[in-house]
Amino acid sequence: MMPHLTLCIVFTVQKELFWSKHGSTLFDSPTLHVPTSVAMTSIVDSEAQFDLRLDQVKVPDALKLALRNSGITTISTLAYAHGQPGQPISNDEFAGWVRQLDPSATVGGVAALKRLLFESQTQLLALLKEQVTNPDPAAARRVPQAEREARMENLRNRLTGVLIEGHSEPCHSLLDLATQMYDQNVLKYVPLEKCFSRLTELSVTSKLQTKMLEVESSKIIIRDREHDHETPVQSSYQALEALKRRGLAFDFAGIMSFSRHDRYVQLLFSHLNREPPTGYNRCSVSQLLAADRAALDPSHRSQHEASP
């Protein structure tokens, strides 16, 4: 049973907790504090992934600039910029379209961009098929590597003075989970045991690499088994570090700014220094963590609300 003191903490910290998606708030907040950009789970919507593929297929710099000036910055926009997915690409029409973008485009540049267009349309069709056959995946989709690196670099540049390396860097599974929450627009509580560092994730992954067989479209596919690892949180320091990594992951995904999350955490832990009312013991770390869960998980909070 949740102590009454914990319920008081829940009601106090709720007003400091801010959750946003496309300008809407699920908790009351006087000001809007959201990151300037958000992470994209899908490869087709990632600008960083698109830039990486442009470099890998050796599209000329002049043609890259022409694409950007025309607003073609992702795989999904390129897929519909000329023709549409599933239809053959006419060589003459495509060459004419490319030279409208860049009159100086060479045969090699046209060929490179045509290859990328074919890849873009194929990937988009595959994504649409997956969304139809598996609209609510149980496991979080992984953020593309190029997108993740670009977002983490942006995070480090914006949060000057905040160390984001070593045990302070969130694990990839936490970043994927936070991004899935943003994409689905669903409020979920993330246990602190899942907010471990990237260093811990690397050490665990190297020990637990196993394979599994799956049947997909009448085919047997070998995949890497996803291990649901958790790291115990046993002290106030470990809790603070886990909350910091969660705040970084929320900022990474565009759910909540790190400064707002840090303000919430500071308010939460300030209850450790408050003098308890007569007849009550001083607030413990376990009560703070219970309040944090109740503030973020409406279903959990409703189960522990005091009856009138």
The pLDDT tens digits for 203-239 are: 886 655 566 666 655 556 665 555 577 888 888 899 9
- What contacts 283, CB < 8 A, 6 or more positions away? 5, 6, 9, 271, 272, 274, 276
Q: What's the pTM?
A: 0.70
Alpha-carbon span 83 to 90, nearest angstrom: 9
Pairing of strands 219-224, 24-25: unpaired
What does the pLDDT look like over 248-283, one tens digit per residue?
999 999 998 999 999 999 999 988 888 888 888 888
Fill in the amino acid letter for 212: M
Q: Among residues 11, 37, 35, 69, which one has the least CA distance to residue 256? A: 35
In DSSP terms, 4 is beta-bridged to none
213 neighbors 221 (Cβ within 8 angstroms): yes
